[in-house]
Structure 1
Amino acid sequence: MTSKGTQPDAVISLYPELDEGALAQVVRALRTGDTSKLSPARAAEVTEAREVATFQDGVRVPVGEGVELDAALWLHNGEGPHPLIVMPSPWAKQGWTMYAVQAMRFARRGYHVLAYTARGFGESGGEVEVAGEADISDGIKALDHLIEQTSGAIGRVGFLGDSYGSGISQLVAAEDPRVRAVVALSTWGDLGEAFYENGTRHVAAVRTLLGAAATARLSERTQQAFDDVLANENIEETLRWAADRSPFHRVDKLNERQVPVLFSQAWHETLFPGNQTLRTFNALSGPKRLLWSIGDHSGPEMTGILGLPNRIWQEAHRWFDQHLLEADDDESAAAAFDETSGAEDQVVSEIMWGRALESRPTWDAATGTPERFYLTGPAEGGKDGGLLDKPTNGWHTTFSTGTDTPATVADQILVTGYAELAGLPKAYRTGKIDRNAAGVWTTAPLPSRQLLRGVPRLRLTVAPSAADSTFVAYLFDVNALGIARIVTHAPYTLLGAVPDEPATVDIAIQVTGYDVKAGHRLMLVLDSVDPFYGPAAETPGTITVTSPDEDPSYLEIPLG
């Protein structure tokens, strides 16, 4: 890493439950054939893989200017043509080894595979450019290298990446016409929107990325972009830098060739919030599929990385089987893709908290009908406003800014999402939310189960005491004891307002798939401080929420 700029407080892993030793044992067994330290099931996989494919690690891929990428190859030994898969690494010091098990499984199924460590990480040369032009060129040259190492006829080409590698995979596919399909796991579509969600700096995400790259070598421009987000400087420059690294801004190139893209995303994604990926998904006109899961960044894929059963990786294999195997000439390949499994649907959602899977043909079919809940002022002697089916105007609620409350996105970035995966979502005690530092609005107990499906929207008239202000909106599911679980949230920053003058804002809250039990309440909370976000101003003040007769404030929820 460069010596200048913000340095991480600690080394952070984007994969907190990764068993590095287990992956190292698989790589060692692939290299040597000694499976004595593997479980019986993994040993059998490795033995079969070595019988049908040649494994090489320590591969060096030259990409120009003296830079080489560390990589591994799995070359299938059977008669071709064999489809090809290139796998750029996640944002992690472990590099390509993160894919060892899944690359081996692709090789067993007849694919040639090259997995490589992105520049600036691990044993690869160069500096981290955050999916810049050098990374796109690296992906193209990695594909060239894989083709050079094969013998005989080759088939179609796919790119697969998790996290960092997912963005690179989409960008390479946009620029290289040889790429026929993409799998993008825990991905991003618009990096600028992820870093500046609703104009609000996502400082926790940037600090986490810095911590996860503590042993990497960041380019000076990359370091500057991260520093600028943290310091609230050079916003327009950073947004231009981010746009060049965003698949959303190259989606027309993917659409020209109708490149099939499979996405996976977690509902409570704290690095790359779901709306920006959803926007990219909706902009694609070719074959596409979007898998929603409980949890946070890369957590839903983790068991598959370790070789355990995992529906997302199973979908990834099915996607490439469908779009890369020469099914017309291979009956067994055609049979590998099950047309009756719901695989033609574009959206599959794991609903919180019952874990039921909902499969829908399109995103519109997966989205509920918008229903408005109008904000009201507190009843006499009360502190909380209501959420009603009809507007009640002429009221105002004021809360102070600069003080945090128990309403937060999560206890800890990434880790709280792993607890959700284990069935232990964070519990919020709503009675402890200081009403002097937050505005709170609550429905009556819901008479029946409510299915929240899609992007909630909030329209507010606010009058901040400062020209620049930030607040965060949280939507909670609250039981009869006042214990809540977070449904979704979104930050918002208002710049250049006239102090104490009303301004109307529209906020797209992060997408959700959530079932609220009968008898529970929905609670909307607004406060001004959350450790995940950087405030527009540090000076304490107030925010007043009102509801004019001509433009009432409301929360709009898509109900299934």
Structure 2
Amino acid sequence: MRDPHPSLRPLAAGAVSTALLAGAALGPAHVAHAAPPPSAPAASPAAVPGATAAVSASSGVRFVDIPGDGGTVLKANVVTPEGAGPGAVHPVVVLPTSWAVPQIEYLAQAKKLADTGYVVVSYNSRGFWQSGGEIEVGGPEDIADASRVIDWTLENTPSDPDKVGMAGVSYGAGISLLAAAHDKRVKAVAALSGWGDLVGSIYSGRTQHVQAAALLGGAGALTGRPSAELRRVLKDFLASNLDQEDEMVAWGAKRSPVTYLDRINAHGTAVFLANAWGDTIFPPNGYAAFYEKLKGPKRLEFRPGDHATAEVTGLLGLPNDTWSHTRRWFDRHLKGERNGIDQEQPVQLMSRSTGGYEGYPDWKSVGAVQREMELGGTHTVRANVDSGANGGTVLLSNALDQFLKLPPTASIPLLPRRYAAVWQSPRSERPQRVRGTAKLHTTVTGTKESGTLVAYLYDVGPLGLGKLVSSAPYTFHGKTPGEPFAVDLELFSTAYDVPAGHRLALVVDTVDPLYVEHNPTGAQLTFSSPRTDPSYVSIPLREQ
């Protein structure tokens, strides 16, 4: 098995640089107080002072040290409302930082929250930059840190103990949800570009999302101190060490908010979830499934883009729907303002094609009409070769779709049938609004006991150019060579408008740079449609 990790270290470095743009845009006065990279001496986890002196009285920002779990130093900043009178208390929002991003990440949004009456405390998650400890990936130490930050905030700021919220992007979103499950003081959460099921996100279809995992691992190594446990899990994951699969799944379950769903529901936490359709680290399906199981006040929003790209303009201080809706969520559930957000349809989707919002009463109402596209005939493909159909590059490809309407493309007539199975629908006389989760059902026969396939749904124009609508990987092990077996695969959820006169095409091949492939050399896969169990792809559509 090739080790993809070293070759992707440039991707990791690029992602860190992109994330730091948020801090750089806040200006030199703020950046001067950012923590240096981990090559600088790390703060000692021993005796931690309550807080450092204010660095900018006019800005209302204080940079402080907060004692986390076990006394570990957490570098933080505090933004308080200006002109607060003696004895006044304010709702509080705690913001754990994203993976590999320094503590200045949220200053632009913290200022906006403080201007409307919130005490805001943002802290660098343990193991990153100058915060102490090691990277635990939302482990027990991170959960305890969040509670210690709340303790410190209630003791050292004019904050209301009955009005505590948490929010964050990516890693900060995951920690916020986990903290809400373990600390009932957290009354409201805004989890942006996070995860509900960690293993289900980066190991969907029992396939390693190699670019995503290598990106996270590389960024963590560049900006922090991964724990020995994390290094071991990541090594086994990237090396396809199946002997450690059960351990990896258990490790991920401990770090998944869905594991503690009953606690979140028991606390009645108001949960706002937002993600991008093309998130290549935490695909949207996980949030949709998690949302459906929540019992308290809840809201789900999906927009075009890739991991955290929907939030990044807000981190730069620019107008941003995700962040403005976050403030509305806290205004309703921490301040008690009747601003109407709880009267709107709780599922809000933005089409990748039109950029307009659509409201639904729940997730199951999205794509309520299912159209089955038959996958007839028998197709045999050779493995180990990328046919030219693929999901693109982590972070980059779906960001291009978001900002320039340029999704990954492939010329469907030119795809080599030796390496790709292709089915196409008739041209549609009417536009087709794909909404929700397409599902593939087929029968596969392999020549080896293991294998990987990747399914792609394309919008095909008159000249045969296919624009990627959705995709997903699937890996099998322990199958008897030559014996057929059924495969059911959910493609990643999306909202995409197929123009009139276009076809839909389903393409299946065996290699995609986003994933680890498990096809032995010389393997072949045959896709068939038995009379007693016909193959199809179910397309979720919104009625015209």
TM-score, L = length of structure 1: 0.87
Could you tell me which residue of structure 1 aligns to residue 395 of structure 2? Answer: 414
Gaps of 5+ in 1: 32-48, 328-333, 378-395
> What letter is aligned with 1:167?
G
Question: Could you tell which deviates more after superposition, 207-216 or 82-91?
Answer: 207-216
Matched, 1:431 2:413: yes
Partner of 1:363: 363
1:290 alignment partner in structure 2: 300
1:400 to 382, 386, 409: 382
In 2: Cα distance, 1:138 partner to 1:374 partner: 52
| Cα 1:30–1:50 shift into 2, 3 Å | farther
Structure 1 residue aligned with 2:372: 372
CA distance in 1, matches of 2:57, 2:289: 42
Write the letter of the residue equivalent to 2:227: S
| Aligned match of 1:389 | none
Tell me: CA distance 1:556–1:222, structure 2 relative to 1, closer, same or farther (3 Å): same
Matched, 1:496 2:478: yes
Asked if structure 2 preserves the Cα contact closer than 8 Å seen for 1:15 and 1:299, the reply is: no
Q: Are the aligned partners of 2:353 and 2:405 in contact in 1 as well (CA < 8 Å)? A: no
Partner of 2:30: 27
Deviation, 1:9, is 2.7
- Pair 1:273 & 2:280 matched: no
- Displacement of 1:508 in angstroms is 1.1
Give how far 1:277 is off.
Answer: 1.6
Q: Report the RMSD for the aligned CA atoms in angstroms.
A: 2.0
CA distance in 1, matches of 2:239, 2:27: 39
Distance 1:540 1:151 in 2: 67
Q: Deviations over 1:297-326 (max 9, x none)?
A: 00011111101111110100000000001x
Secondary structure of the 2:105 match is helix
Q: CA deviation at 1:514?
A: 1.1
Following superposition, the deviation at residue 365 of structure 1 comes to 2.5
User: The residue matched to 1:515 in structure 2 has which SS?
Assistant: strand
**1:550 corresponds to 2:532:** yes
Report matched runs for 1:295-310 at 5 Å.
295-310=305-320
SS where residue 458 of structure 1 aligns?
strand
Corresponding letter in the other structure for 1:368: A
- 3-state secondary structure, aligned to 2:9: coil
Q: CA–CA distance in 2 between the matches of 1:255 and 1:154?
A: 20
CA distance in 1, matches of 2:309, 2:57: 29
Q: Give SS of 2:434's match.
A: strand
Q: CA separation in 2, counterparts of 1:86 and 1:176?
A: 13
Q: Which residue of 1 aligns with 2:38?
A: none
| Counterpart position of 2:438 | 456
CA offset at residue 424 of structure 1?
A: 3.5
Once the two structures are TM-superposed, the CA of residue 350 in structure 1 deviates from its matched residue by 0.8
Q: Decide whether the 8 Å contact of 1:81 with 1:155 is kept in 2.
A: no
Separation (CA, whole Å) in 2 of partners of 1:153 and 1:175:
19
Cα offset for 1:188? 0.5
* Aligned residue number for residue 51 of structure 2: none
Does the 8 Å CA contact 2:351/2:357 hold for their aligned counterparts?
A: yes
Q: What is residue 44 of structure 2 aligned with on the other side?
A: none
Aligned counterpart for 2:177 among listed residues 162, 170, 180: 170
Does the 8 Å CA contact 1:268/1:417 hold for their aligned counterparts?
yes
Cα distance in 1 for residues equivalent to 2:71 and 2:22 = 33
Q: Which moved more, 1:168-177 or 1:225-234?
A: 225-234
Q: Does the alignment pair 1:219 with 2:201?
A: no
Aligned equivalents of 1:555, 1:6: Cα separation in 2? 33
- List runs of 5+ in structure 2 lacking aligned partners: 35-55
* Percentage of matched positions with identical amino acids: 36
Describe the SS at the equivalent of 1:198: helix
Q: Is the 8 A contact 1:346 1:363 kept in 2?
A: no
What SS does the aligned partner of 1:376 have? coil
What is the deviation of 1:193? 0.8
Show the counterpart of 1:71: 76
1:350 to 2:350 alignment? yes
User: Partners in 2 of 1:480 and 1:19 — Cα distance?
Assistant: 41
Per the normalisation by structure 2, the TM-score is: 0.89
Measured after TM superposition, the shift of residue 343 of structure 1 is 5.3
Equivalent position SS for 1:451: strand
After TM superposition, give the deviation of residue 30 of structure 1 in Å. Answer: 10
Equivalent residue number for residue 510 of structure 1: 492
Mark the CA change 1:152 to 1:352 in structure 2 (over 3 Å): closer, same or farther: closer
Alpha-carbon distance in structure 1 between the residues aligned to 2:275 and 2:138: 19
Counterpart Cα distance in 1 of 2:199 and 2:124: 24
Q: In the alignment, is residue 252 of structure 1 matched against residue 262 of structure 2?
A: yes
Q: Hey, what does 1:111 align to over in structure 2?
A: 118
State which of 91, 94, 98 in structure 2 corresponds to 1:90.
98
**Shift of residue 483 of structure 1?**
1.2
Cα drift, residue 361 of structure 1: 2.0
Give the total of aligned pairs. 507
Counterpart Cα distance in 2 of 1:54 and 1:140: 24
> Is contact 2:379-2:526 (8 Å) kept?
yes
Deviations 1:401-428 (A, max 9, x none): 1111211111x21012221222241332
Residues in 1 aligned to 2:172 and 2:29: alpha-carbon distance in whole angstroms: 21
> 4+ residue stretches of structure 1 with deviation over 3 A?
5-8, 28-31, 151-155
What's 1:13 paired with? 15
1:362 and 1:6, CA in 2 relative to 1: closer, same or farther beyond 3 A? Answer: closer
Q: 2:466 aligns with which of 484, 493, 516?
A: 484
Equivalent residue for 2:138? 131
Checking the alignment, whether the CA contact within 8 Å between 1:30 and 1:55 is kept in structure 2 is: no
Q: Deviations over 1:515-554 (max 9, x none)?
A: 1111011010000001111112332311111111111001
Contact 1:195 1:229 in 2 (8 A): no
Post-superposition Cα deviations, 1:201-247, rounded to whole Å, max 9, x if no partner, equal 11111111012222310000011111111011111110000000000
Residue type matched to 1:13 in 2? A
After TM superposition, give the deviation of residue 372 of structure 1 in Å: 1.0
Paired residue for 2:508?
526
